[in-house]
Amino acid sequence: MSRIVVAGAVIDAGRLLLAQRARPEHLAGLWELPGGKVEPGETTAEALRRELDEELGVEVTVGEAIGAPVEVAAGVDLVALRAELVTGTPQPREHLAIAWVDADELAALCARGVVVPADTAWLPDLDALLRGE
Ligand code: C5P
């Protein structure tokens, strides 16, 4: 059975929340949609709510999937879900930093190669969301 990793596209006022990974070494310093592994018995939405609480100290509501799942390793699929902040201000508890980026800034980061490779697959979908299409 495949493992699922879930990532959140938290969008607020036309900006997307990115978090800068601290580990593992080959991903450290790169920006990602924050999230983590879905534990047995959890839905993807439950896992995303738990991960964003643990990692960033925020409560979110989870919406629809964005783009297509990406296989990040053999038997490990990464899915992106929309999320909206309900309470809290994101704090980087496990990341190096957080940033709120608009569509142009997101495209520039992807072009510079400083976004986690798997997440760049969602650039067209994220771009459309950020531009309000
Ligand atoms: O965050 P965590 O280390 O639990 O995620 C497991 C793996 O999923 C990462 O090592 C990375 O390969 C992948 N991942 C990703 N993009 C994300 C979140 C996780 O590629 N936004």
Q: Helix, strand or coil for residue 37? A: strand
Ligand 1 center to residue 5 CA distance, Å? 7
Rg for the chain, CA atoms, rounded? 14
**Contact (Cβ atoms closer than 8 angstroms) between residue 63 and residue 57:** no
Distance of CA 79 to the CA centre of its chain: 9
Q: What is the mean pLDDT of residues 96-111?
A: 98
Percent of the chain with pLDDT over 70: 99
Confidence of residue 133 (pLDDT cuts 50, 70, 90): confident
Q: Which two tokens stand for residue 97?
A: 């930093």
Decide: 51 in ligand 1 pocket, CB within 6 A: no
Q: What's the burial of 1, exposed, middle or buried (CB within 10 Å: 0-12/13-18/19+)?
A: exposed
pLDDT value at 1 more than 70: no
Considering its fold, how many domains does the chain have in total?
1
pLDDT value at 111 more than 80: yes
**Contact (Cβ atoms closer than 8 angstroms) between residue 119 and residue 99:** no
pLDDT for res 2: 82
CATH of the domain at 99: 3.90.79.10
Query: pLDDT digits over 11-40, tens only?
Result: 999 999 999 999 999 999 999 999 999 999
Q: Which domain holds residue 30?
A: 3-130
Residue 94: count of CB within 10 angstroms of its CB: 14
Q: What is the mean pLDDT of residues 76-99?
A: 98
How many Å apart are CA 92 and CA 69, to the nearest integer?
25
pLDDT for res 7: 98
pLDDT for res 86: 98
Best probe residue, ligand 1, of 23, 37, 51, 78 (max atoms within 8 Å of C-beta) = 78
